[in-house]
Amino acid sequence: MKKFGIIGYPLGHSFSPGYFNEKFRNEGIDARYDMYELPVITDLQAIIDYTPDLCGFNVTIPYKEKVMSYLDNISPEARAIGAVNVVKVTHRENGTPYLEGYNSDIIGFSRSIKPLLERHHKKALILGTGGASKAIRYGLHQLGLETLSVSRTSKDKTIRYEQVTKDLLQDYTVIVNCTPCGMAPHFNECPVLPYEALTPQHLLYDLIYNPDETLFLKKGKAQGAITKNGLEMLLLQAEAGWEIWNG
């Protein structure tokens, strides 16, 4: 039986085990997907050493960057992003494991948002500067958009939320929320923006998929903006990971 899994800490929120184990059952695949909750990244070596049937694993918070030092090869996209969320495990002729790192977040996001982009969508605001935002920025650049990141605190090459003005939103007609603001159970929270400046020319994309429609998206929809949550991205990045493991 092939084994797959996910590393991170904590893992109670993870969508991956249910998704992949259901996929294995439905498609008659002789495989199992487990959760490897690692309090410290150094515990990864024991997982590799004592799970000889491990063919690949996903990586989630807080190890998308730290895992890179354990890998034998990293895809150009993942290296440019600076984060890995899919690891393929094979073995050399002498039996030692060979670990390759990829980033499927960029694949899922790009495939999900591309059909929604119009010619007037030239600039995008990225809310948040965490690990996921790196893949989003890279994907938007690949799709030809200029980006600007927004943070709660002052950082290089970012602006703060209070600097997002109505005038700024005239140019930045794509807004992607990469923060947990609005995620269940905090249904009544949303990033602080001048939502009244949004128009039907705007596209709001939220990486959150629980709830289906965050307050961020509701406020955008009320102004006529196109809105989309992160569920399709999640499904597409999971399938991209499966393609990597079996490619």
Res 224 pLDDT > 90 = yes
Distance of CA 101 to the CA centre of its chain: 15
- Residue 58, amino acid: N
Q: Tell me the HSE value of 126 on the side-chain side, using a 13 A CA sphere.
A: 22
pLDDT tens-digit series, residues 48-72: 999 999 999 999 888 999 999 999 9
Confidence band, pLDDT 50/70/90 cuts, at residue 156? confident
How much is the pLDDT for 132? 84
How much is the pLDDT for 20? 97
Cβ neighbours of residue 18 under 8 Å, at least 6 residues apart? none
Rounded to the nearest integer, the mean pLDDT of the chain is 95
The DSSP annotation for 73-121 comes to EE-HHHHHHT---EEEEEE-TTS-EEEEEE--HHHHHHHHHGGG--TT-
Res 94 pLDDT > 90 = yes
Selection from 235, 246, 247, 190 nearest residue 31 by Cα = 246
Mean pLDDT in residue range 236-244:
96
Q: What is the pTM of this model?
A: 0.89
Q: Tell me the HSE value of 21 on the side-chain side, using a 13 A CA sphere.
A: 11
Res 167 pLDDT > 80 = yes
User: Which residues are catalytically annotated?
Assistant: 64
How much is the pLDDT for 35? 96
Using a pLDDT cut of 70, give the percent of the chain over it. 100
Confidence band, pLDDT 50/70/90 cuts, at residue 191? very high
How much is the pLDDT for 157? 85
Res 155 pLDDT > 90 = no
